[in-house]
A and B are shown apart, each in its own frame.
Chain A
Amino acid sequence: MRHVFDSMGTTISVELDGTADDAARVEQIFHGFDRRFSLYRDDSELSRIAAGRLDLVDSSDALREAYALALEWRTATGGVFTPHRPDGVIDLNGVVKALAIERSGQSLGSDWIVNAGGDILISGADRVVGIADPVDRAALLCSIVLTGRRRAMATSGSAERGDHIWGRSPEFAQATVVADDIITADVLATAIIAGGSATLDDVTAQFDVDVLTVDRDGQLRATPGIRTALATGQPDSEQAEA
């Protein structure tokens, strides 16, 4: 079955081999993360910390774990990814959606797709997933087979809503990262948009991920793994004459 709902300011669609109860559980997981971490809700735990009404040391384990995770990624990306807004407010937007996707997957059986605002995690059969064209979002740029360990795909854009990308004049219009887990994919896609080609080189050197970027002129760059994962759907029958 398929279940579509709104949470975290975006739309989540879940396709699963299960019941309405399974789908409802996923929805509750997202709403739970949103209630705790949203800075758009005055009553969220994170908003109370931002307003000085709650000390970090008195916050929940869940919040401190998410913050610690975000700080680990700040270190791993040399500070390009950061959970701190320029005004000093802790903003965990960059990890919370991925955490909710991951937690949802843990609550489900073996065959499902969770797509939260364009970030995808799958389980079970191999799946062909499309990447939207940043110029024309009604068109696909290409499609990729998620197979083997590669189960997660996240895409970040420089025109993206939200405050968790604070780089200057982004080089890339869009960055897609394919990884074994959704947190790595999501964080690194964000970091590449924020840090540009220097971060792209660092990411491909340091992490076991595949990346497809679209720069401001529409030019593409891809790691070798993206090339091999392109879903052709066509047998290689026509060979050029030598």
Chain B
Amino acid sequence: MNTRQALTGIFATATVIIVGWQVGAVALGQGAASSTSSTATTTSNPASGLKSGTYTGSNEQTQFGDVQVEITVANGTITDVKTVVLTGNEGRSDQINSQAAPILRSEVLSSQSANVASVSGATYTSDAYLTSLQSALDKAKG
């Protein structure tokens, strides 16, 4: 009996920890909105929501060398995600830190502004210019 109770207790504790990890992972996934490695979840405070601070994930071996993900949390949301390369040469760490990652349209759409000074786009012909945003801008600011 004593042995059985002890084992049950251990399993219950393990379950709490696993659930806690999953809760933490979900929260992080929503906040990061990018394809960041899930190693960030392993050492952040799992069960207690997101506390402000900077958290570093465990080492993960990748083609770029050993990598850690570092997240910064402020007021319950992730404000920054960095990939820290622990080993490997300079070029490789540049590569992983500068890579183009998927970004949601909604993330960039919120940046639309009526106050643009100029508009960049694929090269237009002089005819196509007439219907372009740049043309409207040139007319408006005449």
Please give the residue numbers on chain A whose beta carbons come within 8 Å of chain B beta carbons, in ascending order: 2, 4, 6, 9-11, 13, 15, 97, 113, 115, 117-120, 122, 127-132, 134, 137-144, 153-157, 159-162, 174, 176, 200-201, 204-205, 211-213, 218-227, 230-234, 239-242
> Pick the contact of B112 from A9, A120, A142, A174 — CB < 8 Å?
A142
B115 partner residues in chain A, CB cutoff 8 A? 128, 233
Which single residue of chain A is at the shortest CB-CB distance from B137? A13
Check B76–A240 contact: CB distance below 8 A: yes
Check B117–A127 contact: CB distance below 8 A: yes
| Chain A binding surface SS class | strand
B138 partner residues in chain A, CB cutoff 8 A? 2, 4, 13
| Chain B binding surface SS class | mixed
Is B2 at the interface (CB under 8 A from chain A)? no
Check A232–B110 contact: CB distance below 8 A: yes
Q: Would you give 11 A-B contacts (Cβ < 8 Å), ordered by A? A: A2-B142, A4-B138, A10-B123, A117-B124, A120-B118, A130-B118, A132-B133, A154-B120, A201-B99, A230-B108, A231-B113
Interface residue ranges of B56-102 to A (CB < 8 Å): 74-77, 91, 94-95, 97-102
> What CA separation (Å) do A239 and B134 show in the bound complex?
35
Check A204–B100 contact: CB distance below 8 A: yes
Is B132 at the interface (CB under 8 A from chain A)? yes
Which single residue of chain B is at the shortest CB-CB distance from A11? B129
> What CA separation (Å) do A153 and B103 show in the bound complex?
19
> What CA separation (Å) do A120 and B135 show in the bound complex?
14
Check B108–A128 contact: CB distance below 8 A: no
Check A144–B123 contact: CB distance below 8 A: no
Check A155–B125 contact: CB distance below 8 A: no
Which single residue of chain B is at the shortest CB-CB distance from A93? B123
> What CA separation (Å) do A55 and B138 show in the bound complex?
42
> Pick the contact of A160 from B75, B103, B110, B123 — CB < 8 Å?
B123
CB distance from A237 to the nearest CB of B (A): 11
Check A204–B95 contact: CB distance below 8 A: yes
B116 partner residues in chain A, CB cutoff 8 A? 128-130, 140, 143
Given contacts A9-B125, A157-B122, A222-B101, contact A15 B117 (CB under 8 A): yes
Check B108–A174 contact: CB distance below 8 A: no
Check B124–A153 contact: CB distance below 8 A: no
Most central of A142, A156, A174, A233 by chain B CB within 10 Å: A142
> What CA separation (Å) do A141 and B139 show in the bound complex?
21
Is B104 at the interface (CB under 8 A from chain A)? yes
> Pick the contact of B117 from A129, A138, A139, A211 — CB < 8 Å?
A129
Given contacts A132-B119, A205-B94, contact A220 B105 (CB under 8 A): yes
Check B120–A119 contact: CB distance below 8 A: yes
> What CA separation (Å) do A161 and B108 show in the bound complex?
27
Check B117–A13 contact: CB distance below 8 A: no
> What CA separation (Å) do A132 and B137 show in the bound complex?
13
> Pick the contact of B108 from A2, A160, A220 — CB < 8 Å?
A220
CB distance from B137 to the nearest CB of A (A): 8
Which single residue of chain A is at the shortest CB-CB distance from B97? A224
Which single residue of chain B is at the shortest CB-CB distance from A239? B75
> What CA separation (Å) do A156 and B113 show in the bound complex?
22
CB distance from B119 to the nearest CB of A (A): 4
Which single residue of chain B is at the shortest CB-CB distance from A205? B95
> What CA separation (Å) do A13 and B25 show in the bound complex?
49
